[in-house]
């Protein structure tokens, strides 16, 4: 059987899970191609006939990343009623992400036979905190027994293909539209502007090279920010910057970065059998996050941006 796994990964969690799924399918003597949605030109050349397609993505703002939208027109042109599965990585909440993504798949007449979510470390504000900080500790980990969960997911996919099983989605929560509005408001206050500390920046160009939306452009003597507000917020540039010169507002001005090395260490810790104390009581911790998030939104919903951003050492270059 031939598989194509299409994925997007901000700082690497979804890419890691995609590779693990690929390895397990290959062990079962299946052929698997792994393609990032950033390789859109490659996607346009692929023959999808009779292929099982997997979709992987992180949960952003309680739904799937916006840049996935450019993939669906390609699939509409290239695919015909393919069997598919989906999986996501998340730090705190999955919300209605599977329902949202499934609506796009339904328009393509895809047959969805499996879906799974994988708790992964955050690449957001928590990742910038000191490692002994509670906010860091209670989110910076992969869930317990994650390798077993990946194994079980692959078995489920293969069983459902052979058994012709189809996933039926649950309808979203009645408050889902309000939840999406709240999280968008929070994004404006927690990640108000993409900024570069020009004193720290070495103009190496790595951030521009890594940006999936070409929102950063290397102009030689400085890095140009095309749009410092309407950003995907994958935070890849912030964590890949070797000079720690990039932030998205005052709350992201910490010293820690979520690197590939850290990601691999977190994964191996879980795969090695470590039982994370915060995972055991994750539902209660998540309830606290939900309550604090609503309180934060209520407090800051009318705050002007300048009250939340420290711009003393940063400046932005914006294309006019």
Region at 116 (left for phi over 0; alpha for psi -120 to 50; beta for the rest): beta
User: How far is it between the farthest Cα atoms of the chain?
Assistant: 61
CB-based contacts of 276, cutoff 8 Å, min separation 6: 141, 143, 144, 270
Query: Is residue 218 located within the same domain as residue 129?
Result: no
- Tell me how far apart the alpha carbons of residues 4 and 52 are, in angstroms, rounded to a whole number: 6
Domain assignment of residue 320, yes or no: no
Q: Could you give the 3-state DSSP secondary structure of residue 217? A: strand
- Which stretches of the chain drop beneath a pLDDT of 50? 307, 309-320
pLDDT on residue 306: 53
Query: Is residue 112 located within the same domain as residue 198?
Result: no
Domain residues for 241? 176-307
Query: Is residue 103 located within the same domain as residue 55?
Result: yes
How far lies 126's CA from each of 91, 155, 217, 254, 284, in Å?
10, 34, 27, 9, 18
Domain assignment of residue 129, yes or no: yes
Query: Is residue 246 located within the same domain as residue 301?
Result: yes
Last residue of a domain, one of 142, 163, 184: 163
CB-based contacts of 293, cutoff 8 Å, min separation 6: 182, 183, 186
Domain assignment of residue 60, yes or no: yes
Q: Could you give the 3-state DSSP secondary structure of residue 161? A: helix
Query: Is residue 70 located within the same domain as residue 196?
Result: no
pLDDT on residue 178: 84
Total domains present in the chain: 2
Domain assignment of residue 316, yes or no: no
CB-based contacts of 234, cutoff 8 Å, min separation 6: 10, 11, 58, 60, 65, 123, 212
Query: Is residue 24 located within the same domain as residue 74?
Result: yes
- Tell me how far apart the alpha carbons of residues 66 and 236 are, in angstroms, rounded to a whole number: 15
CB 58 within 8 A of CB 232: no
Q: What's the CATH code of the domain at 52?
A: 3.40.50.360
pLDDT tens column, 13-51: 999 999 999 999 999 999 999 999 999 999 999 999 999
Domain assignment of residue 318, yes or no: no
Query: Is residue 41 located within the same domain as residue 78?
Result: yes
Domain assignment of residue 188, yes or no: yes
Query: Is residue 131 located within the same domain as residue 39?
Result: yes
Burial label, 114 (beta-carbon count in 10 A; 0-12, 13-18, 19+): buried
Query: Is residue 149 located within the same domain as residue 211?
Result: no
Query: Is residue 30 located within the same domain as residue 159?
Result: yes
Domain assignment of residue 231, yes or no: yes
Domain assignment of residue 208, yes or no: yes
Last residue of a domain, one of 120, 135, 163: 163
pTM: 0.92
Query: Is residue 230 located within the same domain as residue 111?
Result: no
Query: Is residue 184 located within the same domain as residue 153?
Result: no
How far lies 29's CA from each of 3, 7, 22, 80, 294, in Å?
11, 21, 11, 24, 48
Last residue of a domain, one of 163, 186, 201: 163
pLDDT on residue 67: 92
Q: What percent of the chain stands above pLDDT 90?
A: 73
How far lies 214's CA from each of 68, 121, 140, 191, 211, in Å?
15, 25, 28, 18, 5
Q: What's the order of all strands across the beta sheet hosting 111-119?
A: 31-36, 2-7, 52-58, 83-90, 111-119
């Amino acid at each position: 059987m031939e598989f194509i796994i299409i994925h997007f990964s901000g700082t690497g969690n979804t890419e890691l899970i995609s590779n693990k799924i690929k390895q397990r399918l290959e062990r079962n003597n299946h052929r698997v191609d792994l393609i990032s949605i950033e390789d859109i030109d490659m996607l346009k050349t692929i023959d999808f006939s009779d292929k099982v397609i997997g979709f992987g993505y992180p949960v952003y703002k309680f739904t799937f990343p916006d840049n996935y939208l450019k993939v669906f027109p390609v699939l509409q042109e290239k695919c015909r009623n393919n069997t598919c599965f989906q999986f996501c990585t998340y730090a705190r909440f999955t919300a209605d992400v599977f329902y949202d993504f499934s609506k796009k798949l339904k328009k393509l007449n895809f047959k969805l036979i499996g879906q799974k979510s994988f708790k992964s470390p955050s690449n957001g504000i928590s990742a910038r905190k000191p490692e002994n900080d509670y906010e860091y500790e209670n989110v910076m980990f992969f869930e317990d027994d994650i390798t077993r969960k990946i194994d079980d997911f692959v078995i489920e996919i293969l069983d459902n293909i052979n058994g012709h099983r189809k996933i039926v989605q649950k309808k979203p929560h009645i408050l889902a539209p309000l939840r999406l509005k709240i999280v968008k408001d929070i994004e404006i206050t927690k990640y108000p502007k993409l900024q570069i500390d020009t004193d720290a920046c070495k103009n190496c160009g790595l951030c521009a090279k890594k940006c999936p939306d070409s929102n950063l452009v290397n102009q030689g003597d400085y890095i140009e920010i095309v749009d410092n507000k309407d950003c995907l917020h994958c935070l890849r540039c912030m964590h890949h910057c070797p000079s720690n010169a990039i932030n998205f507002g005052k709350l992201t001005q910490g010293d820690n970065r979520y690197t590939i090395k850290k990601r691999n260490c977190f994964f191996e810790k879980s795969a090695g059998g470590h039982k994370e104390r915060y995972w055991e009581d994750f539902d209660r911790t998540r309830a606290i996050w939900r309550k604090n998030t609503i309180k934060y939104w209520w407090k800051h919903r009318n705050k002007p941006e300048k009250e939340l951003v420290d711009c003393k050492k940063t400046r932005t270059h914006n294309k006019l």
